[in-house]
Amino acid sequence: MEKLHISQFETELIDLLPDGLMLLDPQGKIVYANEALTKILYKPRNEIIGKRCYEVVHEVKTVPAFCIRTRARGEGSVCMHIFEPSIQSWLWCYVYPIKKDGQLIGWLHVIRSIKFKELDAIILEKLGEDIFPWPFYVVDKNHEVIIANKEFNNLIKKDFSQKKCYQILFERNKPCDFCSELKSSVEITLKNRRYLFYQSVLPVSSTESYKLHFLIDIEKQKLAEERFKRLFQESPVGIAISDLEGRIYRVNQAFKKLFQVPENFDVTRLKAYDFYANPEDRKEFIKTLKQRGEVQKYELKQKTLTNKTIWVEITSRLIKEGGNTYLWNVFQDITDFKNVYQSLLESEFLFRSLAEKAPLGVILMDETGKITYLNPAVEKIFGYQAEELYGKDLHLTLAPEKYHSLYRECFERALKTGKFRLAGKRLEVEAKRKDGSVFPVEIYFNFLKLSDNIVFLGLIQDITERKKLEEERINLEKHRALEMLAGGIAHDFNNFLASIMLNVDLALQVASDEKLKSILKRCLNVVEQAQRLSQRLLMFSKGDIPVPEEVSLKNFITELVKFLLQGSGIRAVVEIPDDIPTVKIDPGHLSQIIQNLIINAKEAMPNGGNLFIQAEHENGKVILVVRDTGPGIPEAILDQIFEPGFTTKETGTGLGLAIVKSLVEKAQGQLKVKSAPGMGTSFILIFPAMEKTKEKPKKQEEVNSCEVTTGKILVMDDEKYLRDLLKEALSIKGFLVETAENGQEALAKYQKAMEEGKPFDLVILDLTVPGGKGGVWTIEKLRQLDPGVKAILSTGYTKDTEKILEKYPFLEILTKPYNLKKLYEIINKIFKSKMPYLRDGFSLAGSP
């Protein structure tokens, strides 16, 4: 705040003024006083400067009730006349507030000691302003009437200029007998009405002598007294008349009710102290009253005659009469108000206590949009200290600049119309931190009406993490949709491949031309490549259900890396020994691990680089190292990169490496990282090595090897070309084959064969039949019909294959696409079994 300054030249100029002048700071402390003021107050400057104006002028410690500065705050410049007992002088006072840019920076206070003749004129002028309700006039020392009020003129109704008062009133030729007394009152009759005639000497100059005469109509006075008594007793607020010593002279009915005084109890037997909860409070009250002459709305804790504690608001004034000083006291019961106020304080304390500990940001703002309260969560969310935000415009401070005009327009329109359409709603908007970064928040907005004011409440939640999780969820849903799509494609694709593979196999069996056989074998090679593509789709579609298998790292990783780096500028170097042991892991999980690490490497090397993938076997562990030549990771954040949500990318979710770590640990492995700025990054994956087993040399068999060539087989598949193909391939080998399009047809044919005494020896069931009953439904029905049923499951895709095999009594599984050799091997194995065929862990009834 700007301070009041005064130059040397200005002080010299002010000292030449005849009037007393002082400059005050905004709080009323004197910063300068001129020479004339020291003479008026009879005090040196060192006893004036630095003190409050009322301390040196009126010699009191608190602001007096008549303080001219109090009026000047609302009215601007003010002047007034007062009599100051401390220096026994009448003073003319003038005060002017000094402002700069609308802010109060000080006060100019002028004091002039009034001379007697000037004072005489002032007093007589004031008396002429009809300040009394009764007829009155003023006479000089020669008894001539010099001024009279309107009531006196109306009473006399004749010219009294240059006439004596005793001539006008009493038609006498000489002064009245009581005129020599300074003060007196006498009853007189004037125009057939009785009056009390009062006379008093006016305290004006010593060179002149004036007397004030006024008349009070006795009848009107009695009526007024009766009216006063009635008003006194019937007043809805408590009234009591007492003195400074605490003696009580009169109270009204409202006072008795307030303080629970019995109707016939003589309250004058008590002292004012008897109604104070703490008698010391009265001493402070009387002290304040003496200093100010009157007090208004003074709050006191008092007690009733039944010792009930109450709160009252007292307005009191000192009245002097007949040499005595009395207290006119008015009491207002504010007990309920104090209780409500205390409840409000407690509510505010509770609100602040809750708000201070709330995880959500809590902001209050006034109807101008200025922030009036904020809790620590707001500081944390936006990066500000509380004092930086108090009094600031919420919309301009915490919102991005592009929204400023829109927010301000909406806010002002709502204030103007009184329609707050967003109240009670949750909104997702962008906010701005102190550092300028923009982030998403959820705001709950509402408003409260307190008296005539509106307070706006905002609850703010930083939803950055939630948005990341939502984005990840959306990506996951997309991933799952792609999984389902890939699975569906793989299922249909495998059906086509199975048909092609079986047809080529059949052609090889009947072909005699070697050139044709060579062409057919090339076709099989292409089908096998297509089969690997189908396997990748199936691997992608497995989702999060782990199905651990023994995986050969070299072939798996070499093909995957080649696939993932297509079109990039990164050169991959894969160094994995041929004899590296296998590891047991879900192929889909291993694919996801390698995929995430390669994506990180590609993002670290946008302009190309080298990616080294190496593996070695050591102490029963397979150690796989994925190393890039990117910029590396700072040591300060190296320990955080595996934490969920941690990311250094603007669009990253912070879940990639967390997922990698989780998948590695699911395979009983460990994940480590080594990195330094400028040195690239190495991820080290450690898995348990599987024990090597000696493989028995496989006996080369011809495609058409099938020792068992008799039996009755039922084939169920929704694709007609596959049904026809399998029927032809098996019929060539001597089997009796029937086909069914769905489960209902298969069940009917199986039941009919049993009834005819020509049951099927084996059924081959397709797992999924669009629009019909598939393999699971069919095997359950067949098992009810024939507990000894023998069945093979044929499938191109399902995530739940392992669970199905655990639950249902399928003897073997044919994974599409398969060739005739595989088909013949499984059939031969089942038919050659002398005992009822048992797949490991299952009975023919399907019980583990």
The predicted model gives 729-739 an average pLDDT of 90
CB 89 within 8 Å of CB 66: no
Q: How confident is the model at residue 113 (pLDDT cuts 50, 70, 90)?
A: confident
Any domain includes 90:
yes
171 and 253 in a common domain: no
Final residue in a domain of this structure, among 462, 490, 516: 462
CB 800 within 8 Å of CB 542: no
C-alpha closest to that of 321 among 224, 249, 263: 249
192 and 128 in a common domain: yes
Q: 346 φ, ψ to 5°?
A: -65, -40
The predicted model gives 648-663 an average pLDDT of 71
Q: How confident is the model at residue 19 (pLDDT cuts 50, 70, 90)?
A: confident
At residue 565, the 3 state secondary structure works out as: coil
Q: How confident is the model at residue 331 (pLDDT cuts 50, 70, 90)?
A: very high
Q: What is the pLDDT of residue 841?
A: 39
Residues 604, 606, 608, 610, Cα dihedral to 10°: 10
309 and 240 in a common domain: yes
CA angle at 72 for the pair 71 and 76, rounded to the nearest 5°:
135
Reply yes or no on whether the pLDDT at 704 is more than 70: no
For 275, the token pair is: 């109604």
Q: What is the pLDDT of residue 412?
A: 81
CA-CA distances (angstroms) from residue 716 to 713, 739, 750, 762, 771? 10, 6, 11, 11, 14
What are 60-100's pLDDT values in tens digits? Answer: 888 887 777 876 776 677 887 776 777 767 788 888 888 88
Expressed as residue numbers, the domain containing 606 is 544-688
Of these ranges, 387-391, 684-688, 770-774, the one predicted with the greatest mean pLDDT is: 684-688
382 and 301 in a common domain: no
349 and 314 in a common domain: no
47 and 137 in a common domain: no
Q: What is the pLDDT of residue 504?
A: 84
CB 233 within 8 Å of CB 215: no
Reply yes or no on whether the pLDDT at 649 is more than 50: yes
Any domain includes 290:
yes
What pairing do the DSSP bridges indicate for beta strands 762-766 and 791-795?
parallel
For 354, the token pair is: 């809750």
Q: What is the pLDDT of residue 779?
A: 93
Q: How confident is the model at residue 367 (pLDDT cuts 50, 70, 90)?
A: confident
Any domain includes 824:
yes
C-alpha closest to that of 711 among 741, 738, 745, 751: 738
For 102, the token pair is: 């609308």
Q: What is the pLDDT of residue 787?
A: 92
Reply yes or no on whether the pLDDT at 348 is more than 70: no
C-alpha closest to that of 768 among 757, 780, 776, 779: 776
CA angle at 129 for the pair 128 and 133, rounded to the nearest 5°:
95
740 and 675 in a common domain: no
Element (H, E) at 308: none
Q: What is the pLDDT of residue 541?
A: 57
Q: What is the pLDDT of residue 233?
A: 83
Q: 787 φ, ψ to 5°?
A: -55, -20
The predicted model gives 604-626 an average pLDDT of 92
Any domain includes 664:
yes
Q: What is the pLDDT of residue 440?
A: 92
Q: What is the pLDDT of residue 834?
A: 45
Helix ranges (H only) for 42-162 are 53-57, 68-75, 116-127, 150-156
Reply yes or no on whether the pLDDT at 250 is more than 80: yes
The predicted model gives 633-642 an average pLDDT of 84
Reply yes or no on whether the pLDDT at 239 is more than 60: yes
Domain of 315, CATH number, reads: 3.30.450.20
209 and 251 in a common domain: no
Final residue in a domain of this structure, among 198, 221, 244: 221
Q: Which residue has the higher pLDDT, 40 or 120?
A: 40
164 and 31 in a common domain: no
96 and 30 in a common domain: yes
CB 620 within 8 Å of CB 580: no
Q: Which residue has the higher pLDDT, 24 or 2?
A: 24
For 544, the token pair is: 């999060």
347 and 317 in a common domain: no
Domain of 787, CATH number, reads: 3.40.50.2300
85 and 150 in a common domain: no
What are 297-326's pLDDT values in tens digits? Answer: 899 999 999 999 999 999 999 988 767 889
Tokens 């200290």 locate to 385
Q: What is the pLDDT of residue 538?
A: 61
Of these ranges, 518-532, 664-678, 808-822, the one predicted with the greatest mean pLDDT is: 664-678
The predicted model gives 259-283 an average pLDDT of 91
What are 705-728's pLDDT values in tens digits? Answer: 456 667 899 999 988 888 998 998
Domain of 553, CATH number, reads: 3.30.565.10
Q: Where do the DSSP E strands lie in 114-252?
A: 136-139, 145-148, 184-190, 193-201, 211-217, 238-243, 248-251
Any domain includes 274:
yes
Any domain includes 511:
no
DSSP per position, 789-818: --EEEEES--TTHHHHHHHS--SEEEESS-
Any domain includes 474:
no
Q: Say how many C-beta atoms besides its own lie within 10 A of residue 666's C-beta.
A: 14
Q: What is the pLDDT of residue 669?
A: 93
Structural domain total, the chain: 6
At residue 163, the 3 state secondary structure works out as: coil
- For the chain, count helices (H), then strands (E): 25, 32
DSSP 580: P
Q: What percent of the chain has pLDDT over 90?
A: 24
Q: Say how many C-beta atoms besides its own lie within 10 A of residue 147's C-beta.
A: 16
Q: What is the pLDDT of residue 544?
A: 47
What are 534-577's pLDDT values in tens digits? Answer: 665 665 555 445 667 888 899 889 888 887 887 788 899 999 99
Any domain includes 327:
yes
Final residue in a domain of this structure, among 221, 255, 282: 221
At residue 204, the 3 state secondary structure works out as: coil
C-alpha closest to that of 272 among 285, 291, 253: 285
CB 187 within 8 Å of CB 218: yes
CA-based max dimension of the chain: 173
Half-sphere exposure of 718 (CA within 13 A, CB side): 16
Q: Which residue has the higher pLDDT, 10 or 591?
A: 591
CB 807 within 8 Å of CB 753: no
Query: What value does the mean pLDDT of the chain take?
Result: 81
Reply yes or no on whether the pLDDT at 677 is more than 70: yes
